[in-house]
Amino acid sequence: MAFLAAALDRVKPSATIAVSQKARELKAKGRDVIGLGAGEPDFDTPDNVKNAAMEAIRRGETKYTPVSGIPQLREAIAAKFKRENNLDYKPEQTIVGTGGKQVLFNAFMATINPGDEVIIPAPYWVSYPEMVAICGGTSVFVEAGIATGFKLTAEALEQAITPKTKWFLFNSPSNPSGAAYTHDELKALTDVLMRHPHVWVMTDDMYEHLVYGDFTFATPAEVEPALYDRTLTINGVSKAYAMTGWRIGYAGGPLPLIKAMDMIQGQQTSGACSIAQWAAVEALNGPQDFIQTNKAIFQGRRDLVVGMLNQARGIECPSPEGAFYVYPSCKGLIGKTTPGGKVIESDQDFVTELLEAEGVAVVHGSAFGLGPNFRISYATSETLLEEACSRIQRFCGSLDD
């Protein structure tokens, strides 16, 4: 009899974590490696947030918290949804988890039965289908390729819905592509969902504040208020507030679903870290001006990376609307040969040979369900990004037909 659970046979390890680990190992051996795999801002957590955490420690806020979060944070979350998204969630309709990943997982765990389908646009964040698989559901991937700006069309969504569809999982701005949906593009999708009342919407808005130029963010239940009763709106403090290690994610949704997620979390981890919750209260309620400053830096980095990659032989790199990723195509390099005689037959070959030859660590697009592409995180300094892009240009130029 097998000792490990059969569910593990359905799950793959995280490719993004694997790339970051590989880069760390090579650096430890003395290799000159530029790691562009990690999805976290290189900015420090704002001082007012750090100070709030230290004050919480001094006050003795070091005990267990309610499973769904301290009242002060749930109130701050409800106020944030109202202020920024025009969504009326009462504090008891919110839940705090140990990162957005736990909130997503608990929602699936609370709702998915064997055979239930979850529609996931591809490319997608690597953890989405693995969570669905662990919970016994079936992921239905719908390609949203470079031709549509990595955005799902209403027609493609309509075709993917079946009587077994339970969730439509939506992520804008997107990890890995950075694509963000305008109000009108989102309205086209919500119009489809209105025709299928059995389909719920799980929206991952983690990169909400990282949109560039004059782009205006919108979320599904804001665009179509009639979807409010079957939408779970997920967010967190990790990206916009540079608080990845604090591990605070949250959601707002219908009370029965929130209560079910609370029950699962109560048997799983209970409440998130008390100190991190008090820091998140300050993040949501405190000054927000630094977000604009960070956005301007990210936008400059995006423009640098897009410009340099589009000068690389065989690379096509669209300019994304948000997040801090680009998702260039390396289709023009498939079939070419490295100086060492290795034929580039896939995006995985491309990123493997790039790391070996030039010490640049990126993530292959097939890990996100759509290739031949690769993901670069530009959440690092312009100096490193310029050097990395120069190395990519050199590598692409070294390939023979």
Q: What is the pLDDT of residues 380-391, one digit of tens each?
A: 999 999 999 999
Has residue 11 got a pLDDT over 90? no
- Distance set, CA 112 to CA 103, 137, 249 (Å): 14, 6, 21
Tens of pLDDT, residues 30-39: 889 999 988 8
Per domain, the residue ranges of the chain are 6-44+290-395, 63-285
Decide whether 6-44+290-395 matches 63-285 in CATH topology: no
- In DSSP terms, which residues pair with 15 in a beta bridge? none
The owner of tokens 């990890």 is 175
Burial of 173 (0-12, 13-18, 19+ CB in 10 A): buried
pLDDT band (50, 70, 90) for residue 6: confident
As separate numbers, helices (DSSP H) first and strands (DSSP E) second, the chain gives 13, 12
Kindly report the backbone phi and psi dihedral angles of residue 270, in degrees, each rounded to the nearest multiple of 5, phi listed first.
Answer: 60, -150
Which stretch of DSSP H or E encloses residue 69?
none
Joined together, the tokens standing for residue 323 give 């997040």
- pTM metric for this prediction: 0.96
Q: What is the pLDDT of residue 21?
A: 82
Tens of pLDDT, residues 133-192: 999 999 999 999 999 999 999 999 999 999 999 999 999 999 999 999 999 999 999 999
Joined together, the tokens standing for residue 18 give 């694997």
- Strand, helix or coil for residue 279: helix
Separation between Cα atoms, residue 213 and residue 190, nearest integer Å: 25
Q: What is the pLDDT of residue 7?
A: 84
Tens of pLDDT, residues 349-365: 999 999 999 999 999 99
- State which amino acid sits at residue 92: E
Q: Which CATH superfamily is domain 6-44+290-395 in?
A: Aspartate Aminotransferase, domain 1 (3.90.1150.10)
User: Under CATH, what is the fold of the domain 63-285?
Assistant: Aspartate Aminotransferase; domain 2 (3.40.640)
Average pLDDT, the chain: 96
pLDDT band (50, 70, 90) for residue 8: confident
